[in-house]
Structures are given as structure tokens and as C-alpha cells.
Amino acid sequence: MKINTVIIGIQKAGSTSFYNWLGQHPDIYAPEIAKDFHFFSNDKHFNKGIDNLLDKYKDYKNEKIILHSGVNYSYFHSYTYKRLKEYNPDLKIIVILRNPTQRAISAYNYFKRLNIENRPIGEAFNPNDEKLLNGYHNKSNLTYLQHGLYSKQILALADFFPQENIKIIFFEDILVNKKETYSEVLDFLEVDNSFLPKFTHENVSGVAKI
């Protein structure tokens, strides 16, 4: 068994809900325990070896698509994409993007609710104080502007995976065209696109995962 599809992010763009919707499809295996388990970007997990991730897929029943997700994979693209490529060069990649301003505000409010963020929003969004952190860090989720540099993230992704293996969708389309967007992704994954999940929204307040 080898994971063959990954949602790589981004923060606060509906990836948690979309992972769950895909996991309802009979041909897609998406264990809850593997959702946002940042194996490929967090050395704490990665250095334990691939079984540290695959152990979460023990209930696999020969589904066509084996799904994994990590909302911070695009942020830590400088080494995460390389690790993903080395693990499976034929991976299909799903990218979910959101208006970067609205995404940053949503992320700020999210971490504020969790009492992880205690700065006023003007200070938190000061580009002079924000630096891209190398490797996982307890403040990496709070670099709101860096998380929104999509062009850099997508261009880096194209260096590792061919265009036909990458599907980009938008949070705004998920909100207003759930069925159509979901069907497009099923076509990309080459599974039955007539299936409709129970569309519920997850991780509205939730817990931050690393």
C-alpha cells in the first residue's frame, strides 16, 4: 500500500472539510487519524520513518485512492515537496487556495480563539516582523503573510510534479459550488463522479495540528 493522493493545504481554506468529503467516497480511503498529520514537513514525525505514517492506514480495504493531507505542506515547500516526490513520484496533488487577505484574517482569528495568538492584528500582519521559519516551529502557524505567497508555493510544486498531477481548487468555489467542485476533483482522481457526500463543515474552531 502506498499513499497516492495528497491535499497540501492551505491553512483555513476548507481542506479539513474537503478531506472528510472525499473520505466518504467508497473508492477513497482517508483515515481521520492521518488528516493533517504533518509527516513530510515535521522532522519529529519524518525521522521516525515512513511506518510512522503508514501505521495510520491499517484499515485499508483496497480502495483506489489513498488520501493524506497536510495544510502546512505548501508553506514548508522548500523540503516537503522533495520528500513527497521521493516517497511517490506519481502522487496526485490537490491544492486548495483562498483569497489571501481573507485567509490571513481567518487564520489570525482562529489562533486567537485557541489562545495561541496574543498580538493585535496590526502587529501580527507587520511584514517587517515576519520571517519564514526553517523547519517546524511553534510560531510557524502565525506567519500569516508568508502562508499567502501562493505563486512561490505553486511554482515550486511544478518543479517536482507534472501539471496533470496537480489539481488547484478554490475555497470560494467550495462555498458556492460544492457539488461541481467536488465532482471536478473526483474526475481528477478518476473515480465515480456521481457520488455525493454529506457536506458538513469541519474544524471551524478546532485544534491546531502539527
Q: What is the pLDDT of residue 143?
A: 79
| Range 172-180 contact pairs with CB under 8 angstroms and sequence separation of 24 or more | 172/98, 172/99, 174/14, 174/17, 174/18, 174/96, 175/14
> In 3D, which of 40, 42, 77, 70 has the Cα closest to residue 156?
77
Q: What is the pLDDT of residue 130?
A: 58
**Which tens digits make up the pLDDT trace of 105-158?**
988 898 888 888 888 888 888 777 655 444 455 566 777 778 878 888 999 999
Residues of the chain whose pLDDT is less than 50?
A: 132-135, 204-210
5-189 has CATH 3.40.50.300 classification = yes
Q: How many CB atoms lie within 10 A of CB 159?
A: 10
Residue 67 is predicted with a pLDDT of: 98
Q: What is the pLDDT of residue 5?
A: 98
Specify the pLDDT at position 148. 79
Q: What is the pLDDT of residue 129?
A: 61
**18-49 b/e with 16+ CB inside 10 Å = b?**
bbbbbbebeebbbbeebbbbbbbbbeebbeee
Q: What is the pLDDT of residue 146?
A: 80
| pTM summary value | 0.85
pLDDT of residue 111: 83
Q: Can you give the pLDDT at residue 41?
A: 92
